[in-house]
Amino acid sequence: GIGPYDPQNVFARILRGELPCNKVYEDEYALAFHDIAPKAPVHVLIIPKGAYVSFADFSRNASEAEIAGFTRAVGTVSRQLDLEARGYRLLSNVGEEAGQEVPHFHVHLFGGRALGALLP
Ligand code: 5GP
């Protein structure tokens, strides 16, 4: 289930500026930065500025403005990276069976090559 938010998680520390990141985009609602272990030529993480454990938490508890602002930011990042024409993939791991590692909601944006089918 959704545990309490851990303010010491790595993305919370990046948001506070306690850890560095390779920033792609930032606005009032979202921060986007390159994944430290990229799985595609473009692998960017987009996170809301609010303290939400996962998509489950965010979708239930974030304000309309946070949800809209975050969603807009994801689209802005895709255009800033010039991926709209080629295409890209969004993915968010939620909880244990998805293998979510960092307990701050994030969306992975993959692009820059043919990504193939996610499922066999
Ligand atoms: P999850 O499995 O939680 O969806 O994905 C977490 C992602 O965060 C992984 O792709 C991992 O490489 C990335 N990651 C973990 N720690 C850091 C970090 O300190 N900096 C950056 N930029 N990415 C990280």
pLDDT tens by residue, 15-39: 999 999 999 999 999 999 999 999 9
How far, in Å, from the CA of 35 to the mean position of ligand 1? 6
Cross-strand partners of 44: 34, 109
ipTM: 0.99
How far, in Å, from the CA of 11 to the mean position of ligand 1? 8
Domain spans of the chain, in order of start:
10-111
pLDDT tens by residue, 79-108: 999 999 999 999 999 999 999 999 999 999
Ligand 1 site, residue 101, Cβ cutoff 6 A: yes
Instruction: Write out the CATH class of domain 10-111.
Output: alpha beta
pLDDT tens by residue, 33-72: 999 999 999 999 999 999 999 999 999 999 999 999 999 9
The CA distance from 12 to 115, in Å, is: 29
pLDDT at 64: 98
pLDDT at 1: 61
Distance between terminal CA atoms of the chain? 27
Banded model confidence at residue 2, pLDDT cuts 50, 70, 90: confident
pLDDT at 118: 80
